[in-house]
Amino acid sequence: METPQVQEQITAMPRIGDKAPNFNAVTTQGTINFPEDYKGKWVILFSHPADFTPVCTSEFMTFAKLDDKFNKANCKLVGLSIDGLYSHIAWLRTIKDKIKYKDMQNMEVKFPLIEDITMEVAKKYGMIQPGESKTQAVRAVFFIDPKGIIRAIIYYPLSLGRNFDEIYRALIAMQTSDEFSVATPADWNPGDDVIVSPAGNCGVAENRMEGKEEGLTCEDWFFCTKKLDKDKILNAILKN
């Protein structure tokens, strides 16, 4: 008789457009019910491999520095690793008391850091990538909108620190798309031209190519842009 093969349990990672998987968790800021506690706000849920590691330390200091900036964009930060609560607390205290990196020093992490010793949350979100590590979460970033829908996902390997300008740019770009019903082209930043939806019928396409739609610049019937003032975007998105 053949011995049955033991298969490793695989949990499918959530996809863009899915409801964010819900969970209750202990964090450095108390217990949270996710995503219920964050209704009406954007959330960046991100994982890191382990406490007391240098790349993660540089990232947490940077997130701490940018925390107010994300808050003004109606976005909360929530971190996760599979370390325990007391390890989290000790690490964050060490960051504040001892670590200096670039222009950052005495950085206090005020956003919650989830304890996930059982890896329950990390597995729900596909943060454990066995090809990279079976015992550490990769550097995942989930953008979750005010309705609890996953809007974007970025994954980085253990060795690669994240680009925080891109994380913030992606957040503002998605908020701009929602607010003004436009798309954002490659390398877009507030103040750059935005893309309008392609023409839905021949008449609209013809009007656009003849320059009859005011405010549009059309390279062809399907590729039209328009100006969107930077201040108009930021006034609509950012909270004082």
Residue 222, burial from CB neighbour count under 10 angstroms (0-12, 13-18, 19+): exposed
User: Rg (Cα) of the chain, in Å, rounded?
Assistant: 21
Neighbouring-strand partners of residue 192: 190
Model pLDDT, residue 1: 44
Kind and range of the H or E element at 151? strand 150-156
Take residue 103 and report the two structure tokens written for it: 């222009």
By the 8 A CB rule, do 226 and 216 touch?
Answer: yes
Model pLDDT, residue 200: 65
> What kind of fold does domain 23-161 have according to CATH?
Glutaredoxin (3.40.30)
Model pLDDT, residue 4: 45
Catalytic (active site) residue 56: yes
Kind and range of the H or E element at 212? none
* CA 67/CA 201 separation, integer angstroms: 45
In this structure, what is the dihedral angle of CA atoms 202, 204, 208, 212, given to the nearest 10 degrees?
130
Take residue 202 and report the two structure tokens written for it: 């021949």
Q: Has 139 been labeled as part of a binding site?
A: yes
* CA 213/CA 56 separation, integer angstroms: 50
Query: Catalytic: which of 56, 75, 218, 224?
Result: 56
By the 8 A CB rule, do 213 and 207 touch?
Answer: yes
Query: Domain residue spans in the chain?
Result: 23-161, 181-237
Cα-flanking dihedrals φ and ψ of residue 141, to 5°? -135, 120
By the 8 A CB rule, do 216 and 172 touch?
Answer: no
Between the alpha carbon of residue 60 and those of residues 27, 36, 120, 128, 232, the distances in Å are 15, 24, 22, 20, 31
* Superfamily per CATH, domain 181-237: Antioxidant, Horf6; Chain A, domain2 (3.30.1020.10)
Q: Would 23-161 and 181-237 be classified into the same CATH topology? A: no
Each of the 240 residues of the chain gets a pLDDT tens digit; together they read 444 443 455 556 899 999 999 999 999 999 999 999 999 999 999 999 999 999 999 999 999 999 999 999 999 999 998 899 999 999 999 999 999 999 999 999 999 999 999 989 999 998 887 777 776 778 999 999 999 999 999 999 888 999 999 999 999 999 999 999 999 999 999 999 999 987 667 767 677 776 767 788 988 888 999 999 999 999 999 975
